[in-house]
Amino acid sequence: MNRRTFVASAANLAAAGVASRAVDAWPQPPQTQRLPFIKPRRLTAGDSVALVAPASATFNTMELEIAKESLEALGLKVQVGGHLLDRHGYLAGQDRDRADDINRFFADTTIRAVLPVRGGWGSSRLLPYLDYEVIRRNPKIVLGYSDITALLLGIFARTGLITFHGPNGMGRWDEFSVGWVKRILFDAEAVTLENPREKGEFLVQTENRTQTLTPGAARGRLLGGNLTVLSAIIGSPYLPDWENSVLFLEDVGEDLYRVDRMLTTLKLAGVLAKIRGFVFGTCSECEPGSGYGSLTMEEIFNDHIKPLKVPAWQGAMIGHRMPQFALAEGLEVEIDAVACRIRMLQPAVT
């Protein structure tokens, strides 16, 4: 089942939930306000970390074993959430149970990071059930991407805790991705992120190329993630203030007209008017789809991003099915849209 099916199913569940609101009403949080940011403590060998499942169910226990062994190879001790292998349809258990694992691990003073095992769909459903006061009082590293975007942005918006867009627990722990995780989360470096420049056997670089959309440099809080997930929670109180931000985006498996539609949503919601800079990673398997024709990604960016006249570039190592950067959500950065790099202005962990 792909993410569009997940989202459609979730919409049906939400519609059904209107009729039964008295049975299981979501808590109503206060409106988002801009909070001082909080840094989690860096990781060191011997620290205990926790695997949780905020989104889709995990059916393959071998993948879970690989995730656990990968973290142990980093010198970490791994605990597993009590509901990690639960299943409620395509979800990894009931919403309150999945949220409870996260709340319990944040309250546990022996745990230094809370790491989602995978994305898919479901993180948005947890946002009303998280204990943001416990999270704020016990800052820990949260690392993930794709559907985990909702968790990263929701936690940052409600607490000010810097969160991290990078490999999921069952994601790619290749040399490139692990290198950034070590430098940012273990060594507390304020790194400059840029794609490798290797040509390999070719005359010019053909892989991991970048492209300037609008030249220039900009500073701002780095915020973003998966475009589909982000656009789906627009208007909720689980998104941060976008004023003076650098927006980064990525996606997978979306027809190009959907990418156009989602960027239009960000425009109509006023998000794009507030940003100081823009970085796009990859849109893996994003095809024209059926019909009379399609805009290209370049034309979509020409319509939505270039008119903003803010520094912008595409091709960053941010996305699905590839080695990827680790990015600190909410941290002040500087981007150079000609050199195509992101520079952290301070460490993201203490």
Residues annotated as part of the active site: 146, 250, 320
Among candidates 14, 55, 338, 322, which has minimal Cα distance to 180?
A: 322
Cα(45)–Cα(43) distance, integer angstroms: 7
Strands 211-214 and 163-165, bridge-based pairing: unpaired
Query: Which of helix, strand or coil describes residue 14?
Result: helix
From residue 7, alpha-carbon distances to 135, 154, 254, 257 in Å are: 27, 18, 13, 17
Cα(21)–Cα(51) distance, integer angstroms: 31
Sign of the C-alpha dihedral computed for residues 208, 212, 218 and 222 taken in this order: negative
**Encoding tokens for residue 188?**
């507390």
Long-range pairs for 257-261: beta carbons < 8 A, 24 or more residues apart: 257/289, 257/291, 257/294, 257/295, 258/228, 259/227, 259/283, 259/286, 259/297, 259/300, 260/295, 260/300, 260/303, 260/304
User: How many other CB atoms sit within 10 Å of the CB of residue 321?
Assistant: 11
Written as one letter, the residue type at 303 is: D
